[in-house]
Copies of this chain bind each other. A is one copy, B any other.
Amino acid sequence: MNKLYITAIILVLFFAGCKQTDINPQNKKAKYVFFFIGDGMGLAHVNLTEAYLSSLDSVIGIQKLTMSEFPVFGMATTFAENRYITGSAAAGTALATGFKTSIGTIGLKSNHTDTIFSIAYYAKQNGMKVGILSSVGINHATPAAFYAHQSKRNQYYEIALQLAKSNFDVFAGGGFIDPKGKNDSLPTAYKITENKGYKIAKSTEDFNNLNSDDSKVMLVSPVLLSEAELPYYIDQPDDFYTLADYTKKSIELLDNKNGFFMMVEGGKIDWAAHANDGATVVQEVIDFDNAVKVAYDFYLLHPDETLIVVTADHETGGLAVGWDGMHYESNFAILKDQKYSLGVISDSINYFLNSHKNITFDNVLSFGEKYLSMGSLTNKETNQLLSAYNEFLETEVEEDFLYENINILAYTWIEIFNQRAGIGWTSHSHTGLPVPVRAIGAGSELFDGYYDNTDIPKKIAEAIGIKMIQ
Q: Which residues of A contact B (CB under 8 A)?
A: 6, 9-10, 13-15, 17-18, 20-24, 43-44, 47, 51, 60-62, 64, 68, 70-75, 77, 79-85, 87, 103, 315, 318-324, 327-330, 332, 422, 424-434, 436, 438, 448-450
A321 contacts across to B, CB distance below 8 A: 84-85, 318, 431-433
A44 contacts across to B, CB distance below 8 A: 433
Are A323 and B427 within 8 A (Cβ)? yes
Cβ-closest chain B residue relative to A15: B17
- Shortest CB-to-CB span from A16 to chain B, Å, is 9
Cβ-closest chain B residue relative to A276: B324
**Given A51-B432, A77-B62: A320 and B72 interface contact (C-beta under 8 Å):** no
- Shortest CB-to-CB span from A332 to chain B, Å, is 8
Are A322 and B328 within 8 A (Cβ)? no
- Shortest CB-to-CB span from A234 to chain B, Å, is 22
- Subset of 24 A-B contacts with CB under 8 Å: A13-B14, A21-B21, A24-B24, A44-B433, A47-B433, A47-B434, A60-B82, A60-B83, A60-B84, A61-B84, A72-B449, A84-B330, A85-B322, A85-B328, A85-B330, A319-B320, A321-B431, A322-B426, A322-B431, A323-B426, A324-B427, A328-B429, A424-B431, A425-B426
Cβ-closest chain B residue relative to A44: B433
Complex A-B, nearest 9 residue pairs according to Cβ-Cβ distance, in ascending order: A424-B426, A322-B431, A318-B320, A321-B432, A320-B426, A324-B427, A85-B328, A320-B431, A318-B424
**Given A436-B75, A449-B73, A450-B73: A324 and B429 interface contact (C-beta under 8 Å):** yes
A22 contacts across to B, CB distance below 8 A: 21
A322 contacts across to B, CB distance below 8 A: 85, 315, 318, 426-427, 429-433
Partner of A10 from the list B10, B23, B60, B438 (CB cut-off 8 Å) is B10
Cβ-closest chain B residue relative to A428: B324
- Shortest CB-to-CB span from A438 to chain B, Å, is 7
- Shortest CB-to-CB span from A68 to chain B, Å, is 5
Question: CA–CA, A431 to B70, complex, Å?
Answer: 24
Are B318 and A426 within 8 A (Cβ)? yes
Query: Among the interface residues A15, A47, A68, A74, which one has the most CB atoms of the partner chain B within 10 A?
Result: A47
Cβ-closest chain B residue relative to A324: B427
Question: CA–CA, A68 to B320, complex, Å?
Answer: 22
Question: CA–CA, A63 to B159, complex, Å?
Answer: 35
Question: CA–CA, A73 to B332, complex, Å?
Answer: 28
A20 contacts across to B, CB distance below 8 A: 18
Are A329 and B68 within 8 A (Cβ)? no
- Shortest CB-to-CB span from A112 to chain B, Å, is 18
- Shortest CB-to-CB span from A280 to chain B, Å, is 18
Question: CA–CA, A80 to B51, complex, Å?
Answer: 13
- Shortest CB-to-CB span from A248 to chain B, Å, is 25
A438 contacts across to B, CB distance below 8 A: 450
Question: CA–CA, A43 to B74, complex, Å?
Answer: 12
- Shortest CB-to-CB span from A26 to chain B, Å, is 10
A18 contacts across to B, CB distance below 8 A: 17-18, 20-21
- Shortest CB-to-CB span from A9 to chain B, Å, is 7
- Shortest CB-to-CB span from A415 to chain B, Å, is 12
A43 contacts across to B, CB distance below 8 A: 43, 75, 433-434
Question: CA–CA, A23 to B17, complex, Å?
Answer: 15
Question: CA–CA, A62 to B74, complex, Å?
Answer: 17
- Shortest CB-to-CB span from A174 to chain B, Å, is 24
Are A427 and B427 within 8 A (Cβ)? no
Question: CA–CA, A306 to B14, complex, Å?
Answer: 32
Question: CA–CA, A48 to B149, complex, Å?
Answer: 32
Are A429 and B330 within 8 A (Cβ)? no
A450 contacts across to B, CB distance below 8 A: 64, 68, 70, 73, 438
A10 contacts across to B, CB distance below 8 A: 9-10, 13
A14 contacts across to B, CB distance below 8 A: 13-14, 17
A21 contacts across to B, CB distance below 8 A: 18, 21-22
Question: CA–CA, A427 to B328, complex, Å?
Answer: 9
A47 contacts across to B, CB distance below 8 A: 77, 432-434
A430 contacts across to B, CB distance below 8 A: 322, 328
Are B71 and A73 within 8 A (Cβ)? no
Question: CA–CA, A196 to B280, complex, Å?
Answer: 59
Question: CA–CA, A6 to B60, complex, Å?
Answer: 63
